[in-house]
Structure 1
C-alpha cells in the first residue's frame, strides 16, 4: 500500500507539473499575441482552430488561387518568350533583321519590365480588388502580343516588345505578393513552385503550340511566325477577361467562398505573420523609410543575385532553346517538339524540391544543391556543344539538367526573401525590388547566345552560364552565413532584456530589424 501510495503521489505530482507547463505555454502565447495587438479572444480562436478545418481552408485556397495565377503566368511567359519560336519559323528573315538586332529585340522588353516592377506593386496596394488590377494588365499585354503578329519591320517589333514589358512588369511581383498574403510562411515555397512551374511548362507549351500554329503559314496573308503571336495573344485576352471574375482578391473580400471563421483565421494569420506591423501602417500610405531600408540592405542584393543568375540562365536558354535543338540536326518542327521534355523536367523539379524545402523549412541547402546541378549542366555543354551533332545525347541531357536545377531556384529565392521581411508594405516592396533586380538578368540572358556563335557551339552563352552558376553558389553561402551571424547575435540577449530596451510598438515598427526577429535559413 505504501509503494502504491507513493506511486499515486508521484503520478499526481507529474500531472500537476504537466498542467502547470501547459498553463505557462498558454500564458506565453497569450502574451506573445497580445504584444502584436491580438485580443485574448482572437489568440484563443487562432491557436484552437481545428487542424482539419485548417487543412480544408488551404485546400480551398489552393483550388481557387494557385491555378488562376499559374495559368496567367504560363501565358505571361509564353507571350514574352515565343519570339524564340517565331525566330526559327522565319521571323528574322521576314523582318530584315541583321546582326544582333534579334538580341536587342529580346533585351528591350526588360527595360520597362525592370523599371516598373516596384512601382507596380506599390500601385497594386492601392486597388481594393487585386483581380481588377491584374486583369487590366493581362488584357493589355494580350492585346499587344496580338498586334505583334502584324509588324512589318524591326522598328515595329521593338515598339511591341517595349510595350509588352509595361503590363507584364506588374504581374509576377504582384502574384508572389498575393501568394505570400494568403499562405503561412511554411507553405509559401510549395505554392510559389506550383505557380512558377508554369514558367517551365510555358517552354513546353510554347514549343507544342508553335509546332501546330506554324502550319498556318500563308493563311490570311500572314506568315506562320506571325500567327504564333496573333493566336497566343488572343487567348491571353480571353484569359484576361476571365481574370476579373475568377481570381480571388483578399480574405476580407472572399466571403462568397470562405466562411466567416475562415476569413477571421486568415486575417489573424496575416497579423501574426507580419508581427502586427500592419496595425501601425496607417492606410496604404507609401512609406519611404521602407524603401530606404530595402535599398541600403546588402542582404537584399545577395538575394537578388540568386534570382539574377537564375534569370540569366533561364531567359538565355528559353530564348535560344529552339535554336539549340535545331543545331542538333533536327528540322524546325522537330526542334520545337524537342524543347518540351527539358521544360517538363524543370516543372517537376520545381514542385518536388519546393515541397521538400517547405517540409524542412530550409531554403539555402536547396538553392545551393539546385545551382550545383546547373553548374554540372554547363560544364557538360561548354566543351561538347561545338560538336553538338555528334554529341546529341550528352548535350540534350545537359540541357535537361540545367532546367532541373534552375527552375526550382526562383520559388526558393522568392520564398526565402518573403520569409525574411516583416510588414505588408515592406514585404510587397521587397518582393518587387528583389524580382526587379533579379529580372535584370533577362537583359544579360538576351545577349549571351549570339547567332554568330551558333556554328561553334555558343561558347559565350554556355561559358557565362557556367560562371554565373558558380557565382550563385558563393553568394548563397555568404547570405546564409550572414543570416546565421545576425541570428546568433540576436540570441545573445533574452526576450526580457530586449523588452526592457524597446517598447512593444518599437519592436513592431522595427519589423525584421527587431532583435526578436529570426531570419529563415
Structure 2
C-alpha cells in the first residue's frame, strides 16, 4: 500500500515537472526574463502587453508632471547659492568689513555641511513615503535662511543660470528702500521666492506612481510604472521582515559603496565640474567688472554665458541619450574647459586689452561646465545596481565631488586680480584630471563588459546561483555597464 502511494506521488511529480517544463517553453523569452527579475507571470505579461507608443506616452506624462517642478527647484537652488557673487560687487564686502580671505572663507562654510549631509540626507529620504514632504521642508527651511541673510550673513557658491545676474541688476536698484542696501534686497527677495516655492512643493511635487494613481495617472499607468521600475531597477525590499520587525540599515551596502573604485573616478569627473563651476560663479561678476564694466553692466553681462551653458547642457543631454554614450560628451565638455581656462590664464593679466577674447572664453567655459554634471550623474546611476546602493552611491559621489566646492571657494583671491593664476590654473588642472578619469572609466567599463560577454547568460547562470548573482549587484557578470 505504501509502495503504491510512493509510485503514485512519483508519477504525479513527473507529470507536474513535465507540465512545468512545457509551460516554460510556451512562455516568451522576454516574459521569462521579467519573471527571473522577480515579477509574476501576470505582471510580466501586463508589462509587455503595452506597445512602445503607449509606454512612451506614459513616460512623457510623468516627465511633464515631474520635470518642470524639479527644474524650478533646481533653478532657485542655484539662484540662491550664486547670488553672493552678485551681492559682492554691490557692496557686501564693504558693509561687512570683509578683507583678505574673509569672502573665500564665507564661501567655503557652505560646503562643509553640504558635503557631510549629502549621504545622510539620501538615507533619510529613502525612509519617507512622501518625498514631497521631505523636499518641501528642506526648501522652505533654506528659503527662510536665505531671506534672513538680508540681515544676517551666511552663504556659499554654485551655479545660478542666466537669471541670477539679471535679477541682481534689477534688485540692486532697490538700494536704499527700507534703509536696506541693494545687496541685502538680493538675498531677501530671492529668499522669499524660495519659501513660496517650498510651500508649493507639498502639493505640486509627485511622490510616486502609487500616490498618483486615480489622480493624474490611471491605475494601469501607475501599475506599469511600478512594474517597469521593478524590472529595470530591482524590486524594493520591504521595510519590515517576515516577523513584523523593522529591517535594519544594511551597513554592508555602505561598505560596498566606500570600496567601489568607480565612485571615486566619477567623483573626480564631478569635481572637474565643481571646481571651475563654483569658482567662476563666485567670481564672474568681478571678472567682468575687472574688464572695465560698471556693476550693473557686469551683472547683466553674466546672463549670456549662462544662457549658452544652459543650451549646451540640453543639447549634450539629448545627444547622449540619442547615442546612449556618455563619455564623448563629458570629455568634449572638459576639453572646452581646458581651452577656455588656458586662454584666460594667458590673457587675463591684461584683461582690459583683451576684453573680447576673455569674454568669449567665459562663454566657452560655461558651455563646457554645464554638460558635465548631468552626464556624470546619469553615468553613475546607470552603473550602480540595486536601489539601496544606487541611492547611497550617487550621494557619496556627489558629496566627494562637492569637496571641489571648497577648492573653488579659495582659488580666486582678490590679491591676484585680474590675472587670477591660481583660479584659472586650478580650473584647467581639474578639467584635465576629469578628462583622464572619464577615459579611464570608459576603458574599464568596456573591458569588463567584453570579458563578461565571453560566456552566455545560461553559462553564467550555471556557474552562479540566483542568490549569488543578486548579491553581486553591479559586479555580477550579467550586469552590463553603460558607456
TM-score, scaled relative to structure 2? 0.91
1:238 aligns with 2:196: yes
Query: Can you give the 5+ residue segments of structure 1 that lack an aligned partner in the other structure?
Result: 1-22, 152-156, 166-198
3-state secondary structure, aligned to 2:325: coil
Q: Which residue of 1 aligns with 2:148?
A: 147
Deviation at 1:96, TM superposition (A): 0.3
1:274–1:511 CA contact under 8 A, matched in 2: no
1:277–1:511 CA contact under 8 A, matched in 2: no
Q: Which residue of 2 aligns with 1:319?
A: 282
2:341–2:428 CA contact under 8 A, matched in 1: yes
Deviation at 1:268, TM superposition (A): 1.0
Q: Distance in 1 between matches of 2:397 and 2:133?
A: 24
1:307–1:413 CA contact under 8 A, matched in 2: yes
1:72-83 correspondence runs (5 A): 72-83=73-84
2:234–2:387 CA contact under 8 A, matched in 1: no
Mean CA deviation greater in 387-396 or 34-43: 34-43
Q: Distance in 1 between matches of 2:126 and 2:380?
A: 19
1:450-489 correspondence runs (5 A): 450-455=413-418, 457-489=419-451
Structure-2 change in CA distance of 1:32 and 1:280 (3 Å): farther
Q: Which residue of 1 aligns with 2:128?
A: 127
Query: Can you give the 5+ residue segments of structure 2 that lack an aligned partner in the other structure?
Result: 1-23
RMSD across aligned C-alpha pairs, in angstroms?
1.8
1:371–1:473 CA contact under 8 A, matched in 2: yes
1:203–1:318 CA contact under 8 A, matched in 2: no
> How many pairs does the alignment contain?
455
2:341–2:425 CA contact under 8 A, matched in 1: yes
1:200-215 correspondence runs (5 A): 202-215=160-173
Q: Which residue of 2 aligns with 1:336?
A: 299
Q: Which residue of 1 aligns with 2:8?
A: none
Structure-2 change in CA distance of 1:315 and 1:24 (3 Å): farther
3-state secondary structure, aligned to 1:65: helix
Q: Which residue of 2 aligns with 1:138?
A: 139
Q: Which residue of 1 aligns with 2:103?
A: 102
Q: Distance in 2 between matches of 1:485 and 1:238?
A: 49
Q: Which residue of 2 aligns with 1:374?
A: 337
Structure-2 change in CA distance of 1:76 and 1:279 (3 Å): same
3-state secondary structure, aligned to 1:52: helix
Deviation at 1:277, TM superposition (A): 6.3
1:33-432 correspondence runs (5 A): 33-151=34-152, 157=153, 160-161=154-155, 202-255=160-213, 256-276=215-235, 278=237, 285-432=248-395
Q: Distance in 1 between matches of 2:428 and 2:336?
A: 11
Deviation at 1:505, TM superposition (A): 2.8
Deviation at 1:118, TM superposition (A): 0.4
2:272–2:334 CA contact under 8 A, matched in 1: no
Deviation at 1:387, TM superposition (A): 0.8
Q: Which residue of 1 aligns with 2:19?
A: none
3-state secondary structure, aligned to 1:109: helix
3-state secondary structure, aligned to 2:161: helix
Q: Distance in 1 between matches of 2:234 and 2:459?
A: 19
Q: Distance in 1 between matches of 2:247 and 2:438?
A: 33
Q: Distance in 1 between matches of 2:203 and 2:56?
A: 25
1:321–1:339 CA contact under 8 A, matched in 2: yes
2:165–2:303 CA contact under 8 A, matched in 1: yes
1:125–1:284 CA contact under 8 A, matched in 2: no
Q: Distance in 1 between matches of 2:451 and 2:259?
A: 20
Structure-2 change in CA distance of 1:476 and 1:25 (3 Å): farther
Q: Distance in 2 between matches of 1:463 and 1:378?
A: 7
Q: Deviations over 1:99-142 (max 9, x none)?
A: 00000000110000000000000000111100000000000000
Mean CA deviation greater in 283-292 or 487-496: 283-292
Mean CA deviation greater in 332-341 or 383-392: 383-392
TM-score, scaled relative to structure 1? 0.84
Which structure is larger by alpha-carbon Rg, 1 or 2? 2
Deviation at 1:222, TM superposition (A): 0.9
Q: Which residue of 2 aligns with 1:492?
A: 454
1:208–1:337 CA contact under 8 A, matched in 2: yes
1:368–1:473 CA contact under 8 A, matched in 2: yes
Q: Deviations over 1:389-420 (max 9, x none)?
A: 11111111111111111101000000000000
2:271–2:434 CA contact under 8 A, matched in 1: no
Deviation at 1:366, TM superposition (A): 1.1
Q: Distance in 2 between matches of 1:206 and 1:398?
A: 20
